Amino acid sequence: MMDASKYKPGYYPVSSEYNKWVLKDHIEKPPTWCSVDMRDGNQALVIPMSLEEKLEYFQVLLDVGFKEIEVGFPAASGTEYEFLRTLIEKNMIPDDVTVQVLTQAREHIIRKTFEACEGAPSAIVHFYNSTSVAQREQVFRKSKDEVKKIATDGAKLVKKLASEYDGNFRFEYSPESFTGTEPEYALEVCNEVLDILEPSTDNKVIINLPVTVEMSLPHVYASQVEYMSENLKYRDNVVLSLHPHNDRGTGVADTELALLAGADRVEGTLFGNGERTGNVDLITVAMNMYSHGVDPGLDFSDINRLVEKYVKCTRMHVYERAPYAGSLVFAAFSGSHQDAIAKGMKYRTENNLHQWTCPYLPIDPADIGRTYDADVIRVNSQSGKGGIGYLLEQSYGYVLPPKMREHFSYKCKDISDHAQKELKPDEINEIFEKNYLNLKGDIEVRDFEISTEVDGTIAQLTIVKDGEEILMSANGNGGLNAINNALRAITKAEYSLEVYSQHSMETDGSRSVGASYIGIQDTDGNVFWGAGTDTDVMRANINALLSAYTNMCRGDK
């Protein structure tokens, strides 16, 4: 039995006056994005990336559009040091991109960091020390003043070294474990750091508020951020940054609410990679903005390529249900969902809509490079007629009448159920062709001629039955009716033609192809279906009629 009494709410709420963010209903503009994939993401890998993999992944981040990228902790390992030197010495950092380096607020580590940054065209030196109650009491065993001195000493040193080394430097300070720190103490430390760094319009300082470990509900963090935003010194020249982790599974919510509360910048990773349950997933945050009509300034139009590169370089796996990027996130197996999506897509086409309102799809999958046949409508034993019919139409051009579509869907679902697998579009088409299309039975219409007389239509046919060629003539109120009467006469079959529909398919060279669908009903009320195609519309009708008749002979109702 679990004992919840060993835990208590581990957060530090602020006054209720800092909840003005509640009145906002959406994020109006994107923040400055900083990828920390090369640091937080890389340090959490079972096998950290090699230099070559880091260089490849760095290019991926540039392609997405990141302008600030934390490239590592150069004083922590030879690989990270070499990576930064490679970027600088080979001029691999674009003019509009700033690399960021992480360092503890310790003298020898800061000095090693500046050595690694020598000659950087644009670099953010991100120094930090933990300020939380737990760290002060259990790890450092230092007083508030002693812990604050670590931060201020670090600030003095980075400011001094920035003037001594060749490079263009900016500063970022993090009171690590901010969510485990008394807000008034975190504010005190940050303000004293700012007094030393002297932010200006031309050299703004980043104050980063890490959710190093999620400890509270997201709204508590948002109010803490609003408190900091309204009480930091030099606020106009301070970039207020977020660095949420995902221990409670609410990293995205932390980020979104904190942006409403006044934050300007977000640090995170692609796909939420990072220590424990990971960092906030920047893809989700950015695409959530996109789904509300805000251009995030990051390009995720080819999400499959990002997944491929991420898996290759990190050896990690993107969960199938990961928002936006997962392989199944747009997939609809449910029959009712498929039907609604199919009707929604048809409605968009009929009304030439620009605004996206399709049921069950929060964004257009095509915006991130996903396709409807492979990613949206997916067929298994739970699927319905709407989705299966939609797939057949979109992929192969067949527009089945409603009752035939229902009959076909049950056939597909039964095959999927027995095989215990999903059916792909080509398999669905194969099932359709095998069971309905241009079927060959024991009777064939070799030739025909249709003529119109005063008293109706006459069909003259050459029919082959059981190997014998028979000339046949029959009347009707139309060509198909006359041919059907001839078929009934020669076969002695008792049925009625109940359903008929026909349409043109995409052109085959200079000739269009007609598709015909027919349902015939026997004396017991059973309906049998057939489909036919041909460049000649009447031949397509004959093929459909004979296919339905063949299914009746087989008893395939």
pLDDT tens per residue across span 432-448: 999 999 999 888 998 98
CB-count exposure of residue 36 (10 Å: 0-12, 13-18, 19+): buried
Q: Which residues contact 296 (CB under 8 A, 6 or more apart)?
A: 30, 33, 285, 286, 287, 289, 290
Average of per-residue pLDDT across 118-133? 96
Of the ranges 211-220, 401-410, 474-483, which is most confident? 211-220
Please determine, for residue 372, whether its predicted confidence score (pLDDT) is greater than 90: no
* pLDDT for residue 155: 98
* pLDDT band at 422; cut points 50, 70, 90: confident
* pLDDT band at 333; cut points 50, 70, 90: confident
DSSP calls for 258-323: HHHTT--EEEEBGGG-SSTT-B-BHHHHHHHHHTTT---S---TTHHHHHHHHHHHH-----TTST
* pLDDT for residue 175: 98
Average of per-residue pLDDT across 251-269? 98
pLDDT per residue as tens digits for the range 482-500:
899 989 988 899 999 999 9
Q: Which residues pair with 430 in a beta bridge?
A: none
CB distance 365 to 413 below 8 Å: no
What residue has token string 């048809």? 346
For the sheet containing 495-508, what is the strand order?
Answer: 495-508, 511-522, 527-534
Please determine, for residue 234, whether its predicted confidence score (pLDDT) is greater than 80: yes
The residue length of the chain stands at 557
Average of per-residue pLDDT across 157-181? 96
Please determine, for residue 291, whether its predicted confidence score (pLDDT) is greater than 80: yes
pLDDT, the chain, mean: 92
Distances (CA, A) of 1 to 5, 8, 9: 12, 18, 20
* pLDDT for residue 508: 57
Q: What angle do CA 234, 36, 43 make, to 5 degrees?
A: 130
Please determine, for residue 240, whether its predicted confidence score (pLDDT) is greater than 80: yes
pLDDT per residue as tens digits for the range 447-460:
988 888 777 888 88
* pLDDT for residue 39: 94
CB distance 491 to 549 below 8 Å: yes
Q: Which of 253, 196, 207 is nearest to 230 (CA)?
A: 207
* pLDDT for residue 110: 97
Question: For 162, phi and psi rounded to 5 degrees?
Answer: -60, -30
* pLDDT for residue 62: 98
DSSP calls for 397-463: -----HHHHHHHHHHHHHHHHHHTSPBPHHHHHHHHHHHTBS---SEEEEEEEEEEETTEEEEEEEE
40 is in an annotated binding site: yes
CB distance 557 to 526 below 8 Å: yes
CB distance 57 to 309 below 8 Å: yes
Q: Which two structure tokens, joined as six digits, stand for 282? A: 């920047």
418 is in an annotated binding site: no
User: Between 379 and 352, where is the model more confident?
Assistant: 352
The single-letter DSSP state of residue 192 is H
CB distance 483 to 476 below 8 Å: yes
* pLDDT for residue 341: 85
* pLDDT band at 555; cut points 50, 70, 90: confident
Q: State the Rg of the chain over Cα.
A: 34
d(CA 303, CA 336): 27
Average of per-residue pLDDT across 119-148? 96
Q: What angle do CA 134, 138, 139 make, to 5 degrees?
A: 100
For the sheet containing 468-476, what is the strand order?
Answer: 443-453, 456-465, 468-476
245 is in an annotated binding site: yes
* pLDDT band at 391; cut points 50, 70, 90: confident
HSE-CB for 159 with a 13 A CA cutoff: 16
279 is in an annotated binding site: yes
Average of per-residue pLDDT across 241-263? 98
* pLDDT band at 18; cut points 50, 70, 90: very high
The single-letter DSSP state of residue 202 is S
* pLDDT for residue 340: 87
CB distance 470 to 486 below 8 Å: no
CB distance 129 to 192 below 8 Å: no
